[in-house]
Structure 1
Amino acid sequence: MYRHMTELTADKISHAARLSVAPMMDWTDRHCRYLHRLLSRETLLYTEMVTSPALVRGGALHLLAFNPEEHPVALQLGGSDPTELAQAAKLGAEAGYDEINLNVGCPSDRVQSGTFGAVLMKSPDLVADCIKAMQDAVDVEITVKCRIGVDDQTPEIVLPDFLTKVSAVGCNRFTIHARKAWLQGLSPKENRDIPPLDYDLVRRMKQEFPDLHLSVNGGIASLSQAKAFLADGLDGVMIGRAAYHQPADILCAADPEIFGTGSFSDPVQVVLQMLPYIEAHLRDGGKLSQVTRHMLGLFAGRPGARQWRRILSERAHRPDAGPELVEDALAQVQCDA
């Protein structure tokens, strides 16, 4: 499972972070990331959050598996014990990840019960200790994804204090979800929609901390929005749900428009490129639906998209479903294009 240490430098990873796809539980698994990498060669990709107890105490090293084609790719860890996070970071570095990110933003009950995720916004000194322990264990860059605050905290006070304390140990790259998290009374889904966005606060943090690499996250649904944030002086933009549900809209033009390199990718060609990957997955005992569930939105807004989605949704779970089903679905898009 392990591969050689990555040769990508911190500068290259920081450049890739100009645009990234957010870590999303149950969504950004290795099949999703492989698809996204075919759509964009440059965009930084993130794993789903992996908890340090699962790796260190549970031995769930299969959670670290990824395809070398996914680079640049970052591992997001959840945890709050510095020693355990250091051990988990070492496992991630040995697996070949280009960056290791600490989750200080997830508001779910399961995360709260483990005293990590967004609740750590209340403990910046502990976050700093965690980051320092992880940095001491590996050479891979350690980064943080956080909120602007939680519950009744005042973001204008809490966020600069958090950035000051955590950056003091040498953490230079932060992705800020521009919403508070309410740990009681709102579900994780509601926490992605209900608390108001405060992009201006994130912009002010870049002015206050010009030497930090700051990316903005939350509610960003288009490349034009991303380009506007970059033009405002932010170092990066992280897109979540839009990149998952309409991946072509976000990622097909990302390389030329965000990174100034390469060309527009074609989702039809990307589907054809996915076929050998799907065949290999099936040979290894996998199921077609494990891959195609991430491809449902690939033609969103295009003629034939409804037929594409219907065929894959209704038939990919069948035991005999194979690459030919994807070709059948693709023919519907091409016939109606």
Structure 2
Amino acid sequence: MTQSAPIPLTVIGGVLGAGKTTLLNRLLASGRTRCAVLVNDFGEVNIDAALIKSHDGTTMSLANGCVCCSIGSGFLDTLGRLLDETGRFDRIVIEASGVGDPWRIAEIALVEPALRLDGVVVLADASRIATLVDDRQVGETVRNQFARCDVALLSKRDLVTDTQLEAARAAIHLVRPDVRIELVSPDAVPDLAMFGCRPAARFRADPVGEGIDHEAEFRRWTYRRNGSFDRNRLAAAVGALPPQLLRLKGPCRIDGEVQPQILQMVSRSWTLLPPDVSNEQITDAITLVGVGTADLPADGELDAILDGALVAPLAA
């Protein structure tokens, strides 16, 4: 009986707002392999999984927690179902949560004979990474993400000067002097196959320290409403949200506009754009998922800020 070849596993990590889902969509659109995609979101609702475009494979959601903190039964059951479908997929890709350590997820491939670790990729926002590596709130998390990755990808090249780009490279190399750094841009999308790393010895994983307990260091917040926002009042509300809120993301309705919009906020910068995917999970309801530091104010206080931007609920 011939044993099937191990399935390549690629893990994509990167801090909140680095552009992991955008990169993954572009990789899936340009690739020639059938991928099983697992998307881990720290929030209660997996917005990122809903924003993955249709592709010749499957997308599965791992929400409401950080997989890297506890390789629990939910993750193992999901992975087991994929491995049972021999021949259906050429590769498994896992998008780690924005606060997660992608290496801790990748280690499963070092002890599971049905998997072959193909690479750990960390995406970094070229306009922010030089400050994030030393940030009091997320710096340790960012540095840990680079510690064992195979390649670092710099995104948002169009937002920085050449000098800022070199500062971004230097910041990463201070953390990992030997790491390979490449750029991603709209006209140069890397292929998943290029992320391959040298084969690791089976049943051997590098020891990891205590790391960060992401459930203790970060807090999630979900805002759900049936209704729509007034655009101007929403701008004021987002500006009034506390600095402890690191990311806010999800679909919402804007009064007077036909199509739902995707709100994305990272630090104090935010955008409101129509979704570039067609997905039944993107409904008329407002569903925003936030991630913040442990001292993020209570949900009720945060809810009240956004409630001030609501207009009359949509008719049933």
Which category of TM-score, normalised to the shorter sequence, fits these structures? 0.3 to 0.5
Greater relative contact order (Cα 8 A, min sep 6): structure 1 or 2? 2
TM-score under structure 2 length normalisation:
0.33
TM-score under structure 1 length normalisation:
0.31
Specify which structure has the higher proportion of helix: 1
Specify which structure has the higher proportion of strand: 2
